[in-house]
Structure 1
Amino acid sequence: MILLALFLVGCEQNEIENTEEKNPLVVDEEVLSVKTLKTSEENLRFVAGWLDDMNIAYVDHHDAEDRLQVFNLKTGGIHTIYTDASIISEVLIHRSKKQLLVKTSDTSTEANMTVIDTEGRVLDELTVDSSELEIQWNDAEASKLLISAFREDWSYQVFLYDMSEKSLEPIELTDPFPQWMGEDQLVYLEDTTIVKESLQTSERSELVTEVNRFHASSEQLVVEIPDEEQTRFTVLDANGEEKHSWQAEHPSETMEDVEFTDDDNIIMSTNLSSDDQDGMSTMVQVIDGEAIKRYDPEVEGGLLNCSPDGGTCLVGYRMDTLIDLETGGTTQWLQLNEVEPVIETAEAITEE
């Protein structure tokens, strides 16, 4: 009986220790075990973002090819959906999570864009003469792209590409970094003024002045406005009407990245550039247009990518850290070391 009791106690202790070694992730109020993706700095290109609430897309290099892969946080399964002999320099995931844009380049003066579905089937291809591209995908209409093509002297041309029409049309803008607002309207900076312009009618209107930077979605935008003492952040609707405003907590706090989870909720990362916190990032959540919840994930870099359900975000320069927005807890899902990357499994994207 004594030996049996000691055996049971030992089993219970092992079970507790094994549980503590797993990374917790809260999804739909259930605590799930998060698998860790282990690869090396040499093989990993970058993390692209969420495909759904459990699968993350990333790019690595293997056997002279770049691979667009999907990692399942629950099962640890890896599924390759696209490969290319050229270097994959960027992957955009459309807000619908049904299409991905893969950018590659064979020369320094040309860029290739390939649009695929989540199974890797090619939907469209386009080549643009450019030494550097900035691409904005329309959240409301997946067939439309804004493409800013830069030349070596940093002169530029902005194009509207319509996949359904296979048309590439130049647009004359004073700002090379326009953003979409709805299906056919653009917002961009002229000096420090945000201008909204219709692609159909060319009608222009000024939304707000004295702006440092901004992020836009289909129906709203977040702007950073300098103040006498500390920066002010403001959420505006599509007509420029203020929905919510708050002051930065730190004098050096500036907007880094923004996720619009829905019409009334946003997640924003900010950068702290003071001497004692240089490069560190903080996060602000605006809920129902009013409540503000702050997080300090203690990671460097303000990149931000949130799951479709808006409950979990990837943060950090590498987006290697998960943060649960309900609890503020963080866990590292991506581990970079000098070991061989995990062996690819035959599993496709595993659904809950």
Structure 2
Amino acid sequence: MLVFSLFLITGCEKPEKTEMQQEQKQETETSEPSAPADEGQKKSAKTIQIKAGEFQGANGWLSDDKIVYTLNEGTDSRVFAYNLFTGDQTLLYESSYPIASVTVSPAGKYVLVRSSPGTYEGILTVVKANGKVVWEENISGFDFAVEWNPYHEESILIASFTEDWSFTSYHVDIAKGTSEEINLREPFVKWGDSKHLLFLDWDSENPSLFAPLVKKSIDGNNETEVKPDIFQFDSAKDRVMTITVPANQSDQAVYTFLDNDFGKLSSFSVPHLTSYSDWLVPYYDWTPHGFITFQPLYSAESDMYAGGFQLISVDSESGDKEVFFEDMENVPLSCSPNGTACLAGFYLEDLIMLDKKAIIPLVEHHNDKM
């Protein structure tokens, strides 16, 4: 049930912006601290200053201090590593083609850049955090899905889609420099451990909001159903998260954290919002102890909901919640490895400092004219 699967993931995919825009020369430089230093106890972030050009968006975290962002400069696109607290930046990659997406590996060891020479072409390039190119290949496709292996970051799953959403899956081994097609029934898979994949086994003959969660070896066809009736799921290193909807509480979504053997760690419930014949899953991202997400205040139709969202963190061991902000907009999130800060927004253009409970614009534009 491919189209249905595509719809489900929109709440947790990282944002992309595929088109080149203004063909202008851009310059970047660092700024003074955006907030006063607080007696040296907590670092202050420095915003990115752009005098001209197009900020395409931030892309994720290399470390607790460094992020990756993309800029369009004339006909070129450039990917930078930027230290939020010193203002230092390094050019990681430059392309004469539009950059469609940039994906950072879970521990920040690698960055995968997808540039697009044409509508149905993709140049996939993996660079190390120092900018060294370690793998590159041209793969035809209208769109792509990328899934890094958090247990072995040299291992990547890539699904290449045609315009009708049929797909081909590849397993890339950066260390070996190999890329091979693999047989998967669903394009959107996650790593259950270093050698096994997880996916929802949608029945195309009998459409449903729920599907069983299945575990599969990456080098074989042996499949095992591990959980029935799952609405959505995700995984991080040593953790799995499932979303279900109780039959007797259809206005609630239950998030359950599991270990690698699918033993329950904790669960919590939130009101959910309906969207056509589906439910809206608010954006979220993993942290070392759980994850951070947006929580609506009550259940309603998503188009009619006007209550705003709470930004909360949830501990995967205990299920305990902490509310950081009220009346937030549901937007994509990318959180730092230590979970103390998040990039937020459809271009990840805001920096949320959770320890300070402050929201800082990541970028400042200066249009200097002669």
CA distance in 2, matches of 1:340, 1:49: 29
Coordinate RMSD, CA, aligned: 2.8
Kindly indicate whether residue 292 of structure 2 is the aligned counterpart of residue 268 of structure 1: yes
Structure 2 residue matching 1:48: 3-state secondary structure = strand
Give ranges in structure 2 of 5+ residues lacking alignment. Answer: 1-32, 203-210, 297-301
- 1:207 Cα deviation from its structure 2 partner: 1.9
Residue range with higher mean Cα deviation, 227-236 or 252-261: 252-261
Question: What residue is the counterpart of 2:336 in the other structure?
Answer: 307
- 1:174 Cα deviation from its structure 2 partner: 2.3
- 1:340 Cα deviation from its structure 2 partner: 5.5
Give ranges in structure 1 of 5+ residues lacking alignment. Answer: 1-20, 342-352
CA distance in 1, matches of 2:93, 2:268: 43
CA distance in 2, matches of 1:199, 1:157: 15
Amino acid at match of 2:285: E
What is the aligned counterpart of 2:226 among 188, 198, 207? 207
CA distance in 2, matches of 1:42, 1:301: 28
In structure 2, the CA distance between the partners of 1:285 and 1:105, relative to structure 1 (3 Å rule), is same
CA distance in 1, matches of 2:270, 2:263: 20
Alignment of 1:252-331 (within 5 A): 254-262=280-288, 265-270=289-294, 272=296, 273=302, 275-277=304-306, 281-287=309-315, 289-290=317-318, 291-296=320-325, 298-327=327-356, 329-331=357-359
TM-score where L is the length of structure 1? 0.80
What is the aligned counterpart of 1:123 among 134, 141, 146? 134
In 1, are the aligned partners of 2:80 and 2:93 still within 8 Å (CA)? yes
Question: What residue is the counterpart of 2:83 in the other structure?
Answer: 72
- 1:195 Cα deviation from its structure 2 partner: 0.6
In structure 2, the CA distance between the partners of 1:147 and 1:155, relative to structure 1 (3 Å rule), is same
Structure 1 residue matching 2:188: 3-state secondary structure = coil
In 2, are the aligned partners of 1:195 and 1:204 still within 8 Å (CA)? yes
Structure 2 residue matching 1:267: 3-state secondary structure = strand
CA distance in 2, matches of 1:282, 1:186: 32
Structure 2 residue matching 1:106: 3-state secondary structure = coil
In 1, are the aligned partners of 2:170 and 2:181 still within 8 Å (CA)? yes
Cα deviation 1:255-287 (Å, max 9, x = unaligned): 34443333xx11232375352438x55433223
**The structure with more radius of gyration:** 1
Alignment of 1:192-231 (within 5 A): 192-227=211-246, 228-231=250-253
- 1:251 Cα deviation from its structure 2 partner: 5.1
Structure 2 residue matching 1:119: 3-state secondary structure = coil
Structure 1 stretches of 4+ with a deviation exceeding 6 A read: 24-27
Same amino acid, percent of matched pairs: 23
In 1, are the aligned partners of 2:168 and 2:181 still within 8 Å (CA)? yes
